[in-house]
Amino acid sequence: MAGNIFHYSLDPDEEIEKLLASISGKEIIVTNEVGFGLIPADKTARLYTEKLGLLNLKLVHKA
């Protein structure tokens, strides 16, 4: 999902909120774990890591 958001130049925060609004908290969601490695040198990769980490955090609270 996150890769498509950046590919199509969508607003990551808006897409995260739409996803969170569409789930009940009973789904099984598989996602990448981010934030335990090196900080990417590329601006887009850093933004991806930041937004995916935020999404993961919000998913945990919704579960």
Neighbours of 53 (CB within 10 A): 15
The pair phi, psi for residue 39, each rounded to 5°, is: -80, 125
pLDDT over threshold 70, residue 54 = yes
pLDDT over threshold 90, residue 37 = no
- Percent of the chain topping pLDDT 70: 95
The whole-model pTM stands at: 0.79
> Is the Cβ–Cβ distance between 9 and 47 less than 8 Å?
no
pLDDT over threshold 70, residue 2 = no
pLDDT classification of 35: cutoffs 50, 70, 90: confident
Question: Rounded mean pLDDT of the chain?
Answer: 88
